[in-house]
Amino acid sequence: MSEVKKIPVILDADTGVDDTMALLLAAQHPALNVLAITGTFGNTTTEYATKNTLNAMAMCGREDIPVAAGTPVPWKKELRTSPYIHGDNGVGEYEYPENHTAALSGEYAWDLTYRKIMEHPEKVNYIAQGPLTNLATMLRKYPEVKERLDKVIYMGGELRGDSAGSQCASVNVFHDPDAAQYVLKAGLDFHMCSGGAVTCHVGFGWDELEENFGDWGDKGKVILHMLKFYFGKCGAFEGEVRKMPIHDTPVIMYLVEPECFTTERVHCEVELDGPESYGYSLIDLYNINGWSEEEKNIHFVRVKPDKTGYLAQRIMKGIKGEL
């Protein structure tokens, strides 16, 4: 059997509950070669995010992947985190029995990322699960890295009406609109996975999660503890029973199984001035402003409706390392 070539990727995460699941999925996925993971703020602080990443990688036996902390604050605006969804420590108040630090790099996130990309013989993919601050900082410090980046996949951006960060902004843009704008204008092969078009459609029922992780011993208990907190804060256990998204996980699947998704090229930029719409990512889906093909700077991703159940099953298996 010929060895399947693995896809090289670097992950940047504000490691809260859903990020933890996505990192477990990516680190154990047989088709992925994770070169590094960097920590950012958003769901929690950069410090907690980096700790949570290190502990999650220890849990799945991937302490060989170097982990680095990025910036603790956005470029311009004040830091905001989401303890009301992810708990104060980012992982639903779950306390890891010990803090693993073996994989912690002494480098800054952007320096480690740059070095790993330049060392790799092929172009490297980049998945941003949180605000784009670390990526923007790398692009600013090392503009030449652009040529070495393959796909940049972003869990963030939102069509109007689907937003969660403010009245019209997606959380991951709202946390650092200036960095997002810088990245959007950097001329990358940028793929936008929004909540409304991708992640909210891949739902997980509590029963199936209990069944899936029930046979994964202590690790399964940790997963369920975190997800119960996260789902609870999102209102999953109030009112009618409904399936809930684990937002960052389908974004990993987009890199591995792009055939489950569709994309279209559109123009997107971020509003930085308006007080009512600060941080809004204006995705001109119908090209009302008349952008040329060259000006269309993102691939707007949608999940195929008939693939959502399949993806949910693959994700649950993948978090356990069973793909």
Q: Return residues touching another protein (CB under 8 A).
A: 80, 83-84, 159-161, 163-164, 166-168, 269, 271-277, 280, 282, 284-289
Phi, psi of 79 (to 5 degrees): -65, 135
Work out how close the CB of 114 gets to another protein at its nearest, in angstroms, rounded to a whole number: 31
8-state DSSP, 90:
S
Burial of 107 (0-12, 13-18, 19+ CB in 10 A): middle
Among residues 151 and 267, whose Cβ is nearest to another protein?
267
Q: Which residues contact 93 (CB under 8 A, 6 or more apart)?
A: 87, 229
Work out how close the CB of 53 gets to another protein at its nearest, in angstroms, rounded to a whole number: 23
Among residues 8 and 177, whose Cβ is nearest to another protein?
177
Work out how close the CB of 148 gets to another protein at its nearest, in angstroms, rounded to a whole number: 31
281-283 and 203-204 strand pairing:
unpaired
Torsion of CA 226, 228, 231, 236, to 10 degrees: 180
Among residues 30 and 274, whose Cβ is nearest to another protein?
274
Among residues 75 and 280, whose Cβ is nearest to another protein?
280
Work out how close the CB of 257 gets to another protein at its nearest, in angstroms, rounded to a whole number: 29
Structure-token pair, residue 70: 């990025």
Among residues 105 and 163, whose Cβ is nearest to another protein?
163
* CA dihedral for 79, 85, 88, 91, sign (positive or negative): negative
Work out how close the CB of 278 gets to another protein at its nearest, in angstroms, rounded to a whole number: 8
